[in-house]
Structure 1
Amino acid sequence: MPKHDMTRHDIAFLHTAEVHISTFQSLVESLNHTISVRHDVQPNLLKEAIEHGLTEKLKNDVNRTMQLAANTGAQVVVCTCSTIGGIAELTKQTGSCISMRIDRAMADLSVQTFNNILVVAAVESTLQPTQALLNESLTSANTQPKITLKQIPDTWEYFLAGDKKEYLNRIFEFIQNEKDGFDCVVLAQASMADAALRFKDSDICVLASPELGVKKAIEYLNKKSV
């Protein structure tokens, strides 16, 4: 589906990398093939966040992009980038459109279920927004798990170069070396999701945001249609 298709859609996704289109399109189709989807890819938003932080200009740019998706008819607009997810989620939409971030469902599940959580990110700009998100989830759940955040060094460059295999290898190796003592690992970025598959039969739970977030978006959509 064209990423700039302006016809009416049920769910619109805001991505900061082209590779996410196939991931999220496939997820939606596997969960409910009747849902129409639109994808908007804006890599400049993450680039700006990494280089300059969460500036007022960036907030305005993210809000404008989220609003544009809603204006094309989407009932739910989902930001799949953890770095700018908090900004996107706060976008004030007209009508009954819902703005959400892909990683909130994952954050809520982790603090409700586990006692000692390791959060890993491949890019430093994701750590602070993820910490803020988890703090919100802690307040809502009224729980007190221990949370440790770590950046995986020398890894993001492989994602930028399109070397997914080495990117995932480095994530896997880092978790293998750091997981002792934790009962859950949270993958802070949607791009890391496939690394969770390598721990499917492991003694530690590794949570990724895409499937949990898409299920929550569909749940919102179903509630709106009742």
Structure 2
Amino acid sequence: MATTPQTPRDGFGGIAFLHTAPGHVATFGVLMTDMAPNIPVRQTVKADLLEAARQAGGLTPEIAALAREALEDLAANGARVVVCTCSTVGGCVSMMQEAGMEEGGMQEAGTPRFLRIDAPMAQAAVRIGGRILVVATVEESLASARGLIERTAETEGRPVDVRGLLVPGAWPLFAAGDRTGYRRTVVATVRAAAGDVDAVVLAQASMATAADELSDLSMPVLCSPRAGVTKAIATWRATARDSAEIQG
């Protein structure tokens, strides 16, 4: 486990990110610096969670328990908001919510909030509606993202046609540090397959750099980092207000 503190402060009280790829540390560090430089940030990388999920063919109960432990550890160390940035193991947060650990507005003030980075993206896709093409470079992430969008659509009562597309050969490029090759492979695959869909969802945070190069497509291309960070910041500010009211 590698932890990178940013703006350290006694008691922490900020936003913690759980990653499964080291490359996300810079991405989310820049976003937080640009969007909310005064909020303390800690980032933890546990690449073994993604590797275990890939070997198991998805998020098993055992892997979910390990992910939950990692998320709860970040909360126990002072984070007000804990964000899982991995679409594959992000289902752990959904499980925690379904188990009653998250109850939206019913939560007590001061209770840490657990978020998955791709939830706002899924909600945006469902609100666009119609034919949604979900693109991923890891098979397990594709299944997780499709499931999230389908559950979101069911919750909101909106009919959607969710299609999946796995980008062959892309993930080894990212894992090897070839970000340019990874981005180009994703962009080329999406351009060839977008066709008549109403929205494209880039399921993994690692794919965000491809979104800018796809901005000329006729349909929206959604990615998770900025939308997820926006949600995390809003949630942090809400918890900060709640805490201030209690102390007042």
TM-score by length of 2: 0.86
Q: 2:46 aligns with which of 42, 48, 61?
A: 42
| Counterpart residue number, 2:169 | 154
Q: How does 1:84-95 map to 2 (within 5 A)?
A: 84-91=89-96, 92=101
Q: 1:13 aligns with which of 11, 17, 30?
A: 17
- Say whether 1:199 aligns with 2:214: yes
Q: Match of 2:3, SS? A: coil
Q: How does 1:1-226 map to 2 (within 5 A)?
A: 3-5=3-5, 8-52=12-56, 53-91=58-96, 92=101, 96-226=111-241
What whole-Å deviation, never above 9, does each CA across 1:87-124 have from its counterpart, x for those lacking one?
A: 13444489600111000000001111232110000010
Structure 1 position 225, deviation (Å): 1.8
- Contact preservation (8 Å) 2:129, 2:158: no
RMSD: 1.7
CA distance in 2, matches of 1:179, 1:83: 23
CA distance in 2, matches of 1:131, 1:118: 9
Q: Match of 1:3, SS? A: strand
CA distance in 1, matches of 2:158, 2:219: 20
- Contact preservation (8 Å) 1:80, 1:101: yes
Structure 1 position 25, deviation (Å): 1.0
Task: Select the structure of larger CA radius of gyration.
Answer: 2
Structure 1 position 213, deviation (Å): 0.3
Q: Match of 1:64, SS? A: helix
Q: Which amino acid aligns with 1:59?
A: A
Structure 1 position 57, deviation (Å): 1.9
Q: Mark the runs of 5 or more structure 1 residues left unpaired by the alignment.
A: none
Q: Which amino acid aligns with 2:61?
A: E
Q: Mark the runs of 5 or more structure 2 residues left unpaired by the alignment.
A: 103-107, 242-248
- Contact preservation (8 Å) 2:129, 2:160: yes
CA distance in 2, matches of 1:90, 1:36: 27
Q: Percent identity?
A: 35
- Contact preservation (8 Å) 1:90, 1:99: no
CA distance in 1, matches of 2:160, 2:72: 35
How many positions carry a matched residue from both structures?
Answer: 225
CA distance in 1, matches of 2:211, 2:93: 25
CA distance in 2, matches of 1:37, 1:184: 32
State which drifts further: 58-67 or 128-137: 128-137
TM-score by length of 1: 0.94
